[in-house]
Structure 1
């Protein structure tokens, strides 16, 4: 059975946004799914940012992640030391990983480089599900996750801007862009 890993990240930011280089991951959510989008397993952790450990009011409001939770979280290298064994346990069936847009892939690559981390994800193909959905639906331009779900006749489940919830909702769109088995 083929499996996909759908990843979503939440990161430090301010209203109006920060350049990627200034953002730090504060949450990772990963949903392991089959080709039909059915979840088989998941991984979720909060991550304590190192350069700017104090979340902005905008970031706290957007993500609903409170400062106390972030203060008690582990660093990215510590969380990655938990993520990789979890990923390795599923790697044999994994055909690739996906995210809504290219931001998550680019941010992971930046953080891996900054922290000197390696990942099994680096050996797997990445699917930009936002672009694939836009192409499959022949949209004039890509849309946000909530709008894509609406176009697919689905409603958003859970809390927006929380990594695992966003990953799970993204995974629900995966079967709509994968080639049909014949």
Structure 2
């Protein structure tokens, strides 16, 4: 496995609305041919990654974007994305671009509901009666949907 798309959003900590977005396909080098399963799951086509920059260029662009927000915190649904970034950065000898702080929104959502069950992102949206927008498992669409969940959690905590 390797990262083939970075999709990220930056939320405003006052309104919890999206202030900025980042999306970048990445040309895989360990497994350059996408599998049918991957294409079906993500809708990412071989041409998308063939024409994309390799990891070092893509992560450098991403790092420049995230560092333009001085108080950023890396959040993801579960720990998979964090582990994959650590693995890919190590493989490419690139320093991990995030601080040690990481918010696992999957865990925060369970705490918000007061349950031990861990929900998938689509299940969490359904639980909140929020429509899943875009294509599930596409980086940028998942980032937007996760932001909708986090916004709901933060707005409830601030009431």
Task: Establish whether TM, by shorter chain, passes 0.5.
Answer: yes
Distance 2:97 2:47 in 1: 31
Which deviations, in whole Å up to 9, do the C-alpha atoms of 1:42-99 show, x marking residues without a partner?
Answer: 11000011011001111111111111111111111110121111111112x32x2210
Match of 2:18 in 1: 39
Q: Which runs of 4+ in 1 moved over 4 A?
A: none
Query: Structure 1 residue 181: deviation in Å?
Result: 4.1
Match of 2:37 in 1: 58
Distance 1:135 1:148 in 2: 12
Matched, 1:150 2:126: yes
Name the SS for the 1:110 alignment partner: helix
Matched, 1:139 2:118: no
Matched, 1:172 2:151: no
User: Over the residues paired in the alignment, what is the CA RMSD in angstroms?
Assistant: 1.7
TM-score for both structures, normalised by structure 2: 0.91
Distance 2:24 2:31 in 1: 18
Matched, 1:118 2:87: no
Gaps of 5+ in 2: none
Distance 2:16 2:96 in 1: 23
Query: Structure 1 residue 154: deviation in Å?
Result: 0.7
TM-score for both structures, normalised by structure 1: 0.80
For the 8 Å contact 2:26–2:54, the answer to whether it is kept is yes
Distance 1:74 1:103 in 2: 23
For the 8 Å contact 2:74–2:103, the answer to whether it is kept is yes
Distance 2:140 2:27 in 1: 17
Match of 2:68 in 1: 89
Higher strand share: 1
For the 8 Å contact 1:33–1:171, the answer to whether it is kept is yes
Distance 1:124 1:51 in 2: 27
Gaps of 5+ in 1: 1-22
Distance 2:74 2:109 in 1: 15
